[in-house]
Chains A and B, each alone.
Chain A
Amino acid sequence: QKEVEQNSGPLSVPEGAIASLNCTYSDRGSQSFFWYRQYSGKSPELIMFIYSNGDKEDGRFTAQLNKASQYVSLLIRDSQPSDSATYLCAVNWGFGNEKLTFGTGTRLTIIP
């Protein structure tokens, strides 16, 4: 069974610091990778997606993908209390294969 692994946390980061969230996946053939944010009691919402090796930046968020190491990460710069949430990593196993598999999520708390 294809797996997506995340450290469940909780991860505590001071306000203004960089939060680093990590995810590994089991299938080398995986094609697309997603980070979702889920506030308590709410549904997940997409933050970023990445397909190619390297970094992708969007505002305070940077996604990093290393397919050789089967590793994807999310960096949050200048962390804010509003960033406190559970972050879910998701992997699509291939173009044309529409099955999206999620990790268990990392709970992030930003300390004011």
Chain B
Amino acid sequence: DVKVTQSSRYLVKRTGEKVFLECVQDMDHENMFWYRQDPGLGLRLIYFSYDVKMKEKGDIPEGYSVSREKKERFSLILESASTNQTSMYLCASTGPSNTEAFFGQGTRLTVV
């Protein structure tokens, strides 16, 4: 059974904190993605990676960075958390044919 696992289901952080969201996939997929999902705005792409140490900005990269040191792990970093980063964060991965994106269970982040 394919698996994309996010490190936390719920997180509460304070404004200004550095926040790490971790995602691990066990399908040997090349491509990994970080999205945030907000009511009325749908899924918006933050960053994606198509190979180890490679990353590309998505549509809303401001305030975020990513790290991909190993193929199976893709981390999203909030350098200095702000209240407008309160959201549901979803990690996904796809294989070379890109026919299906598998999603993690999501991390609901609240910044107070």
Residues of A at the B interface (CB closer than 8 Å) are 1, 8, 32, 34, 36, 43-46, 49, 88, 90, 92, 98-105
SS class of chain A's interface: helix, strand, loop or mixed? Answer: strand
* CA–CA, A45 and B105, complex, Å: 11
Q: Which of A8, A32, A88, A92 contacts B43 (CB 8 A)?
A: A88
The 4 closest A-B pairs by CB, nearest first: A104-B42, A43-B103, A102-B43, A98-B31
* CA–CA, A92 and B103, complex, Å: 16
Residues from chain A with Cβ under 8 Å of B42 in the complex: 88, 102-105
Q: Binary interface profile of B, 21-46, with partner A (CB < 8 Å = 1, else 0)?
A: 00000000011010100001111110
Contact between chains at B31 and A101 (CB < 8 Å): no
Residues from chain B with Cβ under 8 Å of A34 in the complex: 100-101
Known: A98-B94, A104-B41. A43 touches B105 (CB 8 A): yes
CB distance from B109 to the nearest CB of A (A): 15
A-B contact count (CB 8 A): 54
Residues from chain A with Cβ under 8 Å of B92 in the complex: 100
Residues from chain B with Cβ under 8 Å of A88 in the complex: 42-43
Contact between chains at B90 and A43 (CB < 8 Å): yes
* CA–CA, A43 and B90, complex, Å: 8
Known: A99-B58, A102-B42. A45 touches B103 (CB 8 A): yes
* CA–CA, A34 and B94, complex, Å: 13
CB distance from A85 to the nearest CB of B (A): 14
Question: Could you give 25 example pairs across A and B, Cβ below 8 Å?
Answer: A1-B59, A8-B40, A32-B98, A34-B100, A34-B101, A43-B90, A43-B103, A43-B106, A44-B43, A44-B103, A45-B103, A46-B101, A49-B100, A92-B98, A98-B31, A98-B98, A99-B58, A100-B33, A100-B45, A101-B45, A102-B42, A102-B44, A103-B42, A104-B40, A105-B42
